[in-house]
Amino acid sequence: MKTRLISALVAAIIAIPLIYVGGYPFYFGVGLLAVLGYKELLDLRKSHKELPKLMIIIGVLCLTLLILENFLAPSIEVGISYERIILCFILLLMPTVYYQDRYSTKDAFYLLGITIFLSITCNLFIIARNRSLGLFVYLLSVPILTDTAAFIIGSLFGKNKLCPKISPNKTWEGSFAGLFAGTIGGVIIYSLLVAKFSWQVIVITAILSIIGQIGDLFMSKIKRENEIKDFSNIMPGHGGILDRIDSFIFVCLTYFLLMLYL
């Protein structure tokens, strides 16, 4: 428990100033986050073979290229362009012909997939922060409140397993408690930091809380399939970068998807 608290404190000391200041320090932090997440997914040896070092470097370059495109933009509509995505397709897929068995098409699509996944996600982190500090705090608060309430209530009162084959410790009681806390707390934070209260915000926040929990289970499924407990041990007691931002990733993706139609 002591190690877990110290890790959380160190992470907060690093993350809070970057989020508060925004701008280039925040962009750098998001870029570093993406590279660490990229390494964690590359370390999943059951998902792919060992990749050529040159292709790993090209993947990092593509990741950075996509994350920082239009990084000053406050809107998803002017985010990542087709031109850069197509360039990444060419750079990451075509070398399979040269490497042959050392870099299979399966490996290439895996590398392309994690690059696109992380770059779009982290680009949206930047867009959210560019819109406003309040919006970013709101989006971050929903999974934090959901996960915290789900853990506490699930530990104390949980009896009915939510998804035992993927995450044995999660319960329906904890899930509903997380949904309640994430929705109520998220709506309060939205009303204080972003805009006035509306019934629409309640619905959106509830959806974000649910999707965040499903996203958490998805990332747990990846770990289960690779027979690991955590993505890494970069944060002792907490696991890896992706262990900490798994729900937040899907909350951000879902929020911006909803905003395109609402």
Indicate the SS3 state at residue 235.
strand
pTM of the predicted model, to two decimals?
A: 0.91
CA distance 233 to 229: 10
Q: What is the pLDDT of residue 247?
A: 95
Q: Please, is 166 exposed, middle or buried when counting C-beta atoms within 10 Å of its C-beta (0-12, 13-18, 19+)?
A: middle
* pLDDT, average across residues 210-222: 96
* pLDDT, average across residues 18-29: 93
Asked whether residue 79 carries a pLDDT value surpassing 70, the answer given is: no
Q: What is the pLDDT of residue 70?
A: 67
Q: What is the pLDDT of residue 8?
A: 81
CA distance 249 to 231: 15
Q: Let me know: does 189 contact 162? Beta carbons within 8 Å.
A: no
Q: What is the pLDDT of residue 75?
A: 55
- pLDDT band of residue 173 (cuts 50, 70, 90) is very high
- pLDDT band of residue 25 (cuts 50, 70, 90) is very high
pLDDT in tens, 90-138: 999 999 999 988 999 999 999 999 999 999 999 999 999 999 999 999 9
CA distance 159 to 95: 51
Rama region for 230: left / alpha / beta (φ>0; ψ in -120 to 50; rest): beta
Phi–psi pair at 14, nearest 5 degrees: -80, -45
Structure tokens at 204: 């959106």
Say what percent of the chain tops pLDDT 90.
73
Q: pLDDT: is 67 or 207 the higher one? A: 207
Strand partners, 161: 171
Q: What is the pLDDT of residue 76?
A: 55
Residue type, 163: C
Rounded to the nearest integer, the mean pLDDT of the chain is 91
Highest mean pLDDT among 44-58, 79-93, 138-152: 138-152
Query: Parallel, antiparallel, or unpaired for β 167-171 and 161-163?
Result: antiparallel
